[in-house]
């Protein structure tokens, strides 16, 4: 999502006459497009911003901008402007004000918009010559208890079907042959009678397109119709990223995920029956507040049983303002790190084994 948002920023700035530099040394303006999903991501940005001294205009954009608002200026006085994810379209105007000297203090923050104007998706700027990311929905209304996204990116909004198709056709006309559809929860997409499977079918039919993919899906909105589309649509990659987060029902409930282990397993079962040799990947959080050793072992047992081709495994990171941040987080740093390492090792073994099997099957 942030890769695409950075392209949107580059696109509008290019159209406004700015030049994108190959290296930060040449640049007069440096914009950090940021993520707030875990503390680690934020720490890295603060340390990077701290490494620039003086002469450049520094902008903080994206989720951290929304999170910190004007507090960002107290955190680092080098920052000249702050623009939240829904306000990135204002960056050329902000830079105009800053360079006109109208703002003597050189501090501007824009974090109040709830919607992006459609035009920012149509500047034609894609970093990759053949592969484009296309946003189909913005924000998220799921409120998983650990997650900051609904607070910083706002409620789920679906882009208009015709606008998505137009953006993809523009990309294809510019030489793109592979598209990845993006959203926090793509399979909840519906707009004017078009649901996610119908959208996939429409995109699959576009002439000139060779490959199609999407992420991320939410288990509570995944269904047989989607699996059938993955199997049937010729350009669609036979892979599904379906975040599990935990293999223990009590933790899933505390996380507000909206499904049980049994329901998740039933989904995987029908995915595998419908999509022959389909790949399966997931996200896992370890060390959620109050997660017991037994519950952690249940997660390990489940990832062994399912056999994901790959998993992104994260240590729980408390995010202020979320429901989980109010739960007592009694696990020590060492316990979280120990669980993280154990499950990473386990998943590495599973992935290697499946990769070898896949190679053998292909040969």
Compute how many residues bind ligand SF4; rule: CB under 6 A.
10
Residue 140 binding: pick among ligand 5AD, ligand SF4, none (C-beta 5-8 Å cut-off by kind): ligand SF4
Q: Out of 36, 66, 185, 299, name the contact with ligand SF4 by CB under 6 A.
A: 185
Q: How far is the CB of 133 from ligand SF4 (least distance, A)?
A: 16
Q: How far is the CB of 38 from ligand SF4 (least distance, A)?
A: 12
Spell out, one character per residue from 206 to 235, where the chain touches ligand SF4: x when CB under 6 A holds, - when not. Answer: ------------x-----------------
Q: How far is the CB of 221 from ligand SF4 (least distance, A)?
A: 9
Contact residues for ligand 5AD, defined by CB under 6 A? 37-38, 146-147, 243, 245, 283, 285, 314, 316-317, 319
SS3 at position 59: strand
24-55 burial, b at 16+ Cβ within 10 Å, e below that, comes to: eeebebbbbbbbbbbeeebeebbeebeebeee
CA–CA separation, 108 and 95 (whole Å): 9
Residue 143 binding: pick among ligand SF4, ligand 5AD, none (C-beta 5-8 Å cut-off by kind): ligand SF4
The residue (of 81 and 316) whose beta carbon lies closer to ligand 5AD is 316
CA dihedral of residues 154, 112, 1, 315 (deg, nearest 10): -60
* Residue 117 buriedness (CB in 10 A; 0-12 / 13-18 / 19+): exposed
Q: How far is CA 359 from the centre of its chain?
A: 30
**What pairing do the DSSP bridges indicate for beta strands 194-195 and 79-83?**
unpaired
Is residue 314 a contact residue for ligand SF4 (CB under 6 A)? no
Helix axes 333-362, 293-306, angle to 10 degrees: 10
Residue 283 binding: pick among ligand SF4, ligand 5AD, none (C-beta 5-8 Å cut-off by kind): ligand 5AD
SS3 at position 150: helix
* Residue 4 buriedness (CB in 10 A; 0-12 / 13-18 / 19+): middle
Q: How far is the CB of 2 from ligand SF4 (least distance, A)?
A: 13
The residue (of 132 and 140) whose beta carbon lies closer to ligand 5AD is 140
Spell out, one character per residue from 160 to 179, where the chain touches ligand SF4: x when CB under 6 A holds, - when not. Answer: --------------------
Helix axes 261-274, 293-306, angle to 10 degrees: 10
Q: How far is the CB of 254 from ligand 5AD (least distance, A)?
A: 13
Contact 222, 267 (CB under 8 A): yes
Name the residue among 162, 218, 228, 149 with its Cα closest to residue 191: 162
Spell out, one character per residue from 128 to 147, where the chain touches ligand SF4: x when CB under 6 A holds, - when not. Answer: ------------x-xxx--x
The residue (of 170 and 329) whose beta carbon lies closer to ligand 5AD is 329
Residue 314 binding: pick among ligand 5AD, ligand SF4, none (C-beta 5-8 Å cut-off by kind): ligand 5AD
Q: How far is the CB of 204 from ligand SF4 (least distance, A)?
A: 25
Q: Is the dihedral of CA 167, 215, 45, 132 positive or negative?
A: negative
Is residue 285 a contact residue for ligand SF4 (CB under 6 A)? no
Binding site for ligand SF4 (CB under 6 A): 140, 142-144, 147, 149-150, 184-185, 218
């Amino acid at each position: 999502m942030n890769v695409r948002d950075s392209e949107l920023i580059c696109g509008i700035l290019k159209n406004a006459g700015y030049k994108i530099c190959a290296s930060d040394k040449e640049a007069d303006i440096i914009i950090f497009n940021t993520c707030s999903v875990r503390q680690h991501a934020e720490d890295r940005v603060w340390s990077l911003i701290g490494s620039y001294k003086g002469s450049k205009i520094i902008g903080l954009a994206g989720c951290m901008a929304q999170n910190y608002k004007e507090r960002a200026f107290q955190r680092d006085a080098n920052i000249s402007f702050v623009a939240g994810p829904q306000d990135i379209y204002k960056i050329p105007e902000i830079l105009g004000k800053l360079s006109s000297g109208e703002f003597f203090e050189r501090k501007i923050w824009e974090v109040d918009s709830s919607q992006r104007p459609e035009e920012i998706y149509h500047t034609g700027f894609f970093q990759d010559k053949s592969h484009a990311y296309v946003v189909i929905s913005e924000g998220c209304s799921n409120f998983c208890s650990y997650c900051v996204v609904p607070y910083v990116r706002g409620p789920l909004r679906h882009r208009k079907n015709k606008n998505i198709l137009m953006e993809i056709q523009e990309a294809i006309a510019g030489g793109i042959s592979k598209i990845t559809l993006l959203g926090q929860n793509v399979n909840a997409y519906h707009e004017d009678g078009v649901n996610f499977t119908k959208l996939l079918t429409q995109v699959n039919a576009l002439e000139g397109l060779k490959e199609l993919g999407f992420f991320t899906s939410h288990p509570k909105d995944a269904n047989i119709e989607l699996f059938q589309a993955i199997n049937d649509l010729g350009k669609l990659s036979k892979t599904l990223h379906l975040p599990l987060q935990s293999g223990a029902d009590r933790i899933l409930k505390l996380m507000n995920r909206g499904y049980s282990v049994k329901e998740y397993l039933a989904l995987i079962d029908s995915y595998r029956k419908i999509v022959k040799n389909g790949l399966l990947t997931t996200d896992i959080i370890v060390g959620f507040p109050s997660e017991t050793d037994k519950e952690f072992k249940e997660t390990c047992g489940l990832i062994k049983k399912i056999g994901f081709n790959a998993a992104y495994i994260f240590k729980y990171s408390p995010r202020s303002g979320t429901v989980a941040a109010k739960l007592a987080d009694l696990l020590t740093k060492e316990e979280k790190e120990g669980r993280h390492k154990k499950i990473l090792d386990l998943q590495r073994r599973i992935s290697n084994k499946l990769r070898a099997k896949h190679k053998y099957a292909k040969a």
